[in-house]
Amino acid sequence: MNNYLENLNEEQKLPVLHKDGPLIVIAGAGSGKTRVLTYRIVHLINQGVDPFNILALTFTNKAALEMKKRISEITSESISRNIWMGTFHSIFARILRSEAPLIGFPTNFTIYDTYDSEKLISNIIKEFKLDKDHYKAKTIRNRISTLKNNFISVESYFNNPELIEIDKSSKRDQFGNIYNEYVKRCFKACVMDFDDLLLKTNELLKKSPEALRKYQDKFKYILVDEYQDTNYSQYLIVKALADRHENLCVVGDDSQSIYSFRGANIDNILNFKKHYPDSKTYKLEQNYRSTKNIVQAANSLINHNILKLDKTIWTNNTTGDKIILNKSLSDSEEGRYVSSNIFELKNNYQLKNSSFAVLYRTNAQSRSVEDALRKINIDYQVFGGLSFYQRKEVKDVLAYLRLIENLNDEESLRRIINFPPRGIGQTTLDKLVILSKDKDVSLFESISEIDRNSKMFNSRTIEKLENFKNLILSFKIYSSKNNAYETSSLVVHQTKLVDFYRNDGTLESMNRIENIEELLNGVNDFIDQQLEIYEGDNSLSKYLQDVALYSETDKEIKSEKVSLMSIHMAKGLEFPIVYVVGLEENLFPSIMSINSREEIEEERRLFYVAMTRAKEKLILSHCEQRFKWGNIIDCEPSRFLSEIDTNYINNINNNRSYVRQKIDENKLRIKKLSSRNLKKINPNSISKIKNPLVNINLNEKVYHERFGEGIVEDIEGEGDNIRAKINFKASGEKKILLKFAKLKIIK
């Protein structure tokens, strides 16, 4: 424990040795900020600070676990276990589990993820009989989220004519009523969404001086990772908790602030000195990740931003290769360029697929790259798709478990009351909703309120509803005496979910069964983890909380495949070789983000993040034309390309200018091209091309840019008409005219 400081450079030591008072660490990309945070915690403990008095807030569970692991290795597991360390949402959920009654919530509240919130909103829209084209559940949810994170309650909304007018102009004049109903339904169902975990924590600290004092006294030292990504709500909570001792350490990089769309406020990091005038500022400017060319190129880009903190990132790493700048005719050609380049680098340098990452602005851009990689049999994985916990069959099991834990959970009940089918249709459910409102009880409680003498439900329907109610209550009794795995296994067995899918007999159904099995494996892993923890909690409640706070960004990139992902998804990751594709105006920067300087600067920061993911090689690519909505459109190179110092760039298409043309000139060029009289080419008029592959041998392994890897099975013809029959792995048999073939022999 005594020699840990030897692992730090002089820049890193200063914030680690700083004990009392506020401080900000401006940590450039690849500068070792995690190490600084980790060692600062270790040093505080070494200086006599009780681990119970330390709070460390991160944005991903992965980051928290990594830090805890490092601290355990330097100190001990028993010490690291006592530190309050985790994501904002997990830590605040932990606080609310203890203190929720102070703000009118039970301690067993359910946490809704984005999907659950959207589902509830969708039901409200349907009940209000509103136009789904104007009232999209996702749009409504995002707006509610924005309002909550800015502390605009339902009451505040209705008292703000400007907000009401915005929604009227968007043909959503009923938004306020939806917002009101959503909040009422969540409260009635004992539910908090992700935004509520922040909102209600703020409410708790504001309404209860006792709770505020309790946690101020507890958290004498507070550390916040990725401070540039905090929103207004997170800022207020941290400020409230730190006000008593002001031992607040924040770490971040303003150049990597890229989440304004989900509420992140760059002003939090830019104005830290104003918020804490007595604070110390430390800078981590040495990059340990990338080559000099990549670091200096990224610097030349980000220097075009005005809203930034003063810092100069540098590295002692090798100079490395210049950044490659590629121009393709189309997005399909761009995909082929990326795939063939990966193929060449793999074979030339004996690299693994996992050495490569392809990054893009929008997820839809993966298609052309995926197609090209499949054709040449290169394994890849797309990150950012549907997470395991969002798959239907997994959501079904979790809905049963959540209803067992919280009988008021309306959305969970709606999901599984007739799944697997038990004869309780939508009409019956609609009647339950009416009864629930009339009696002012939850949907589950409304089953007990049914009057057998009423004509509202027939006797068979009542029997089915009571059977369902008794099933859930029996599960609840069982869960109170057994752990999460035992309860989950019982639910899966008695609901006959597996039997339902097995009877279907399709491949998809078999996959669903496997996912249910994997879910149970996950619950079992949770039990094992809790056994390793002193006074661990193996209850269903604790498991559901952990699952609810699970984030897709916590996935480690362990795959031995080429990684394809959006730049937002790539934040915090690194790869030896990185391709950034689609660098065109209106795509990157996005057409949705060019209306203000602030928006452009965030897009530039996003590009900076993309560039700094690369350790050894960086390839930037854009197209002259792109297929959109059934039309081929001309594309301009991204303005960001011209902002990179040309000293660090190798333009592989240097015969063409990257200066943007006027639209009219582009149109004129295309028109002239299309007006040419194109004639069939006479093969005899073409001078003979010397091609070393004319003497290609049988069984030779070859590579074709479009068709991929293949084996020569036959050779026929004479002279200029010599052709080879090649069996390509991905494309099957093709006859290739060798005179014009762009083949490469694979040794």
Catalytic residues: 33-34, 225-226, 256, 613
Token pair for 364: 């839809």
Spatial separation of the C-alpha atoms in residues 412 and 399, rounded to whole Å: 5
DSSP of 73-102: HHS-HHHHTTSEEEEHHHHHHHHHHHHGGG
Spatial separation of the C-alpha atoms in residues 116 and 95, rounded to whole Å: 22
Q: What is the 3-state secondary structure (H, E, C) of 671-693?
A: HHHHCCCCCCCCHHHCCCCCCHH
Query: Amino acid letter at 668?
Result: L
211-217: Cβ within 8 A, 24+ apart: 211/99, 211/102, 212/240, 213/244, 215/95, 215/241, 216/240, 216/241, 216/243, 216/244, 216/245, 217/244
User: Between the CA of residue 161 and those of 50, 167, 171, what are the distances in Å?
Assistant: 50, 10, 15
Spatial separation of the C-alpha atoms in residues 518 and 505, rounded to whole Å: 19
Q: Outline where DSSP puts E strands in 581-635.
A: 614-623, 625-628, 631-634
Q: Which helix (H) or strand (E) holds 18?
A: none
Helices 484-495 and 392-405 sit at what angle, rounded to 10 degrees?
120
Q: Which helix (H) or strand (E) holds 307?
A: none
> Coil, helix or strand for 664?
helix
User: Between the CA of residue 592 and those of 50, 257, 596, what are the distances in Å?
Assistant: 48, 17, 10
Residue with the two structure tokens 């916040």? 224
Q: Which residues are paired to 576 by β-bridges? A: none
**C-alpha count within 13 angstroms, C-beta hemisphere, residue 101:** 3
* Residue 441 neighbours by CB distance under 10 Å: 16
Token pair for 437: 């409102």
Spatial separation of the C-alpha atoms in residues 382 and 314, rounded to whole Å: 32
Spatial separation of the C-alpha atoms in residues 579 and 211, rounded to whole Å: 50
Spatial separation of the C-alpha atoms in residues 649 and 746, rounded to whole Å: 30
Token pair for 715: 């050779």
Peptide bond into 637 cis (omega under 30): no
Token pair for 57: 């807030």
Phi and psi at 236, nearest 5°, equal -65, -40
User: Between the CA of residue 15 and those of 33, 38, 51, 221, 279, what are the distances in Å?
Assistant: 10, 11, 18, 14, 12
Phi and psi at 57, nearest 5°, equal -110, 130
First CA to last CA across the chain, in angstroms? 52
Name, in order, each residue with C-beta under 8 angstroms of 199's C-beta and a sequence gap of 6 or more.
148, 149, 151, 233
